[in-house]
Structure 1
Amino acid sequence: MKRVKITKNFIFRWHECGLSKEETAKLCARSVKTITEWDKGKKIPAECITLMKMASGQLEHDLSPQWAGWRLAGEYLIAPSGRRFTGKWLRELDYEMQLKEQEKLRRDEKWIRKIIYIIQKSSGEQKEIIQRIIKGMGIN
């Protein structure tokens, strides 16, 4: 049985940067064969190391502090905890949140219609009371 030697280059590419051979080849404008040679221990050019670090979010950046510890690795957004998120999962989460917001807006609209109806049917003194309540709630 042939033993496979795991090199520092492989660990850097796969585990630290989260990049496949194909992604690395495309990113660095090299062939998959060249990436395989790097994985076997051949020196990775400095510019490619920089590109791989940039792609995986390992370089310093100007993002706000709330993103500290987050990074990109291949097709994943990696949380400080190490949890990986795909773009598809984030889009689905965004869609679910939009649906919830739309439902809340529909409920709010229903309540506003009820309040308008009550105001329209109220006498002058009742309207003033309702308007004071609404003003106290910060609704203009």
Structure 2
Amino acid sequence: MIFRDLCFGLSVKEISAITYRHPSTVRRYLRTNKAPPHVLHLVNLYRVGRLPSLHESWRGWRMNGELLVDPDGNGYRANEIKSLWAVRQLRRELERLRARPAQFVMDF
């Protein structure tokens, strides 16, 4: 695959961030139209939105702009994912309360 074609529309700064390469290195890749296979792979993963993980649990997940999209097509923003710890804490607290014996208050 031709590096320049793969990077069309991306800035040097964006390519640098995607590939973890210095901007001058990216400029050289663009000038010579040659880049190492792993750099091509990273840019391609970015282009198609795939996560760079081989773990089975991430199969079908992808990135679409600012959203992490699950295999069912549901999108999640970073702030929603960051708040999952609070949801887990609430769930644990509800389970703890549910496990306690019920208390009845009787009015006379």
Aligned partners of 1:25, 1:98: CA distance in 2, in Å?
A: 38
Alignment of 1:57 with 2:50, yes or no, is yes
Match 1:9 to one of 2, 7, 10: 7
Aligned residues: CA RMSD: 4.1
TM alignment of 1:1-140, pairs within 5 A = 9-10=7-8, 22-26=13-17, 27-31=19-23, 34=26, 43=33, 45=35, 46-53=37-44, 56-57=49-50, 61-64=54-57, 67-72=58-63, 76-111=67-102
Aligned partners of 1:68, 1:21: CA distance in 2, in Å?
A: 29
Q: Name the TM-score, length of structure 2 as normaliser.
A: 0.50
* Number of matched pairs: 94
- Give aligned-pair identity as a percent: 20
Shift in CA distance, 98/59, structure 1 to aligned 2, threshold 3 Å: closer
Residue aligned with 1:103, SS: helix
Aligned-partner residue type, residue 43 of structure 1: N
Q: Which has the larger radius of gyration?
A: 1
Structure 2 portions without partners, runs of 5+: 104-108
Residue aligned with 1:77, SS: strand
Which structure: greater helix fraction?
1
Structure 1 portions without partners, runs of 5+: 1-6, 14-19, 115-140
